[in-house]
Structure 1
């Protein structure tokens, strides 16, 4: 009996004892001693597993000199690391795992994910670990990837709605607008260096600033043990990145403003309304109410939408 229960017991002891948050019945949560939150979602409908790491990084951590570099960092994640020191070997390994993969960058998080056969879970977690903790930023890789990231920006600029949105963000957030626009700045993207990538990593890429999600045809006991075995020695930063590198307070709007954005490529006129919402740091409950309000307002069944339709404006 002691041998049978030895490994699960060790896995349990290596996790911080904290209260379990309220989750759906097939969701399970634990926090490793290094601060990494781990969520396991059991769903055996198909024999696949998906792993994702999300980091509290993104536009809101970017001053003007780093505008768009969280997004570039996301792209560089899939290039090279100590186990796969060039992209050719990185891609070859994804093919061996049969993985589909991607990453996204938003205002307040950057995430990376891989999906593969359930039997590749351990190998996939080791692959993720190498990319997350031991990246290599080669100059030649950055020279190739900078125009790719900037190309996404340029494609967005060909959309008149994006042009309207981009201008509205500048007016809403003033000098701090880079902390709301993940797509970035052309010049900053095109002059980014490996040194800047390492600065981002050293500031934000720590277990106590991240969450690991393991989902699919997995067992929670096995998944938590693998997470601890593979990521458990990832060293805690020893500081809260968002206290050490605080986000400045946004100045409140002092008046209602209006503007017209002209575009030679627009085929249909757009009207956009924006306002400042509550700050999560000061009133987290109000942010949920604001999300519900804005979602309800945008529903086709809302009175506002119906009024626009009745007047022939939508």
Structure 2
């Protein structure tokens, strides 16, 4: 089976590769950001991975369980992220008819996160 693919550049410079499979009942989106562990200051190892986690809980236009992670889980889908040396990736999978709503949440999470001081607590292994 050959899949129809197309790469587009969105306003703001974001490149998207679209893969169309009309008979699919599930759909997925992945956003890859050109920042990873090699971009961390040497005195803050793990900072990129921490930020990956914090983005899922950052304040946004969507409230609490309506943010990407909670919304995808309520849709019966899956959501995850990974931080590698030179990039981080955020991805989810849901029913095909819910893809646009998920992409809007993913965009909001990455484009306009609000990390509030004091909202997150850090624990060390010794506490």
**TM (normalized to structure 2)?**
0.80
The separation in 2 between residues aligned to 1:92 and 1:68, in whole angstroms, is 25
Match of 2:17 among 35, 39, 43: 39
The separation in 1 between residues aligned to 2:119 and 2:26, in whole angstroms, is 31
Would the aligned equivalents of 2:33 and 2:88 in 1 still touch at CA under 8 Å? yes
C-alpha displacement of 1:62 = 1.6
C-alpha displacement of 1:45 = 5.3
Taking the TM superposition and a 5 Å limit, the aligned residue runs for 1:285-304 are none
Q: Deviation per CA, 1:55-104, whole angstroms, max 9, x where unpaired?
A: 01011212213321111110011113322344x44354233433310000
The separation in 1 between residues aligned to 2:72 and 2:118, in whole angstroms, is 21
The separation in 1 between residues aligned to 2:86 and 2:117, in whole angstroms, is 27
The separation in 2 between residues aligned to 1:56 and 1:92, in whole angstroms, is 25
1:80 matched to 2:58? The reply is yes
C-alpha displacement of 1:140 = 4.7
Match of 1:103 among 77, 81, 89: 81
The separation in 2 between residues aligned to 1:30 and 1:102, in whole angstroms, is 24
Match of 1:134 in 2: 112
The separation in 2 between residues aligned to 1:63 and 1:69, in whole angstroms, is 8
1:52 matched to 2:30? The reply is yes
How many residues were matched structurally?
123
Taking the TM superposition and a 5 Å limit, the aligned residue runs for 1:1-314 are 26-44=4-22, 46-86=24-64, 88-90=65-67, 91-143=69-121, 146-147=122-123
Judging by fraction of residues, say which structure has more helix. Answer: 1
Q: Which aligned runs of 4 or more in structure 1 are off by greater than 6 angstroms? A: none
User: RMSD in angstroms over aligned alpha carbons?
Assistant: 2.4
Would the aligned equivalents of 1:81 and 1:135 in 2 still touch at CA under 8 Å? yes
Match of 1:233 in 2: none
C-alpha displacement of 1:33 = 3.8
**TM (normalized to structure 1)?**
0.35
Q: 5+ unaligned residues in a row in structure 1: which ranges?
A: 1-23, 152-314
